[in-house]
Amino acid sequence: MAPTAINLCCSAVRWTPVLFITAIVVWSYYAYVIQMCIFTVESIAEKVIYLLLYHPILFMFAWAYWQTIFTKNGPVPKEFYLSLAEADQLERETNEDRQREMLKQFARNLPILNRTMSGCPRYCEKCRCIKPDRCHHCSVCSRCILKMDHHCPWVNNCVGFSNYKFFVQFLGYALLYCLYVAITSLKYFIDFWKGGAGNGMGKFHLLFLFFVSIMFGISLISLFGYHLYLTCKNRSTLEAFRAPIFQSGPDKEGFSLGRGGNFQEVFGDQVKNWFLPIYSSLGDGVSFPSQSSATMSYQTMGNTPSMGDGVTYPTRTVDLDSDNLLGQRQRWMEEGEEEMNPPGNFQTASSQLHLVSYTDH
């Protein structure tokens, strides 16, 4: 089979989770509006109230979902890319110390704070670019994603700087949708067990409507809560597993601006935009304010960076995707490659990160 045909097949398969969610929502609309509100609910006033509240919630849910799916992640600025000559020169160099010096030279005028444990700028061999802060390569999208959180198969898109607000809103409105459907259908679900609600297949629609809304609602509570926590901490999912490295070492709080500042960085500084799936995030996705930005810059790192005193290094906190540079080495799990795992707990942490990078848990 030709590579083009294989790519088309893979692309079609990736839309399967989105089509599944869409089918569930379309069926839930039929079950709720037609089977419950029109055929089962007897009170006209109750019908009207249910439908008037239901449709705005559904609209916001669908709008946020659409934005999460179809908002493209912004490209890495061109100044972060090495020229062909620079990339070839780097790849031909066999001395690792020389490679590190070359990377530092290439990145000398770039606004980056994050680095590898050895003090190098983070470099992506596949894209041939210096990675901006919080940027990572996604093997599914085949490019570097600004402030990458994870690749989510349920939206067939990478969740990153451009659409993270929409993703959190999607989770929130999906949870609200499930709770609303479950609460308003509970009365008729109970009547079903008593044998008094619905006729024929209508009873089964009400039964499954309640169960499906409860099932998805329970899953969304933990997921939505977790991403609200990450938003208030100013962390991505990847950073929650492996802290970004600054001059003083790994620091999960390195980009934290306080709960209010962290929230506004994602949702914007105008309250009217917090609940609408329109772009309002602060910044450009390339550079971010940090607790130490006033005293730390990449140019001050020197040849032998200090790793700080008393720094605790959790399992798999080090960005090793360019630590040994162009030789065989450990890479970010979001690049989807088989890795050489050192002894101890390293392998366990790697497996966990791989799960986060490709599944929306």
Coil, strand or helix: which one is 357? helix
| Cα separation values, 331 from 65, 129, 137, 192, 244, Å | 31, 15, 10, 54, 15
76 CA to centre of own chain: 17
Question: What is the token pair recorded at 197?
Answer: 């609600």
The CA-atom distances, in angstroms, between 345 and each of 24, 239, 320, 349, 359 are: 40, 18, 16, 6, 22
SS in 3 state form for 122-182? CEECCCCEECCCCCEEECCCCEEECCCCEEECCCCEEECCCCHHHHHHHHHHHHHHHHHHH
Please name the amino acid found at residue 69: I
Buried b (16+ CB within 10 A) or exposed e, 34-60: ebbbeebbeeeeebeebeeebeebbeb
Token readout for 241 is 């597993």
Angle at 195 between CA 190 and CA 196, to 5 degrees: 80
Q: What is the CA radius of gyration of the chain?
A: 24
Helix (H, G, I), strand (E, B) or coil at 50: helix
DSSP state of 74: P
138 catalytic, yes or no? no
Within 8 A by CB and 6+ apart from 121, the residues are 103, 104, 106, 107, 110, 112, 115, 130, 131, 298, 322
Contact by Cβ (8 Å): 220, 171: yes
* Identified catalytic residue from 37, 124, 152, 158: 152
Write out the catalytic residue numbers. Answer: 152
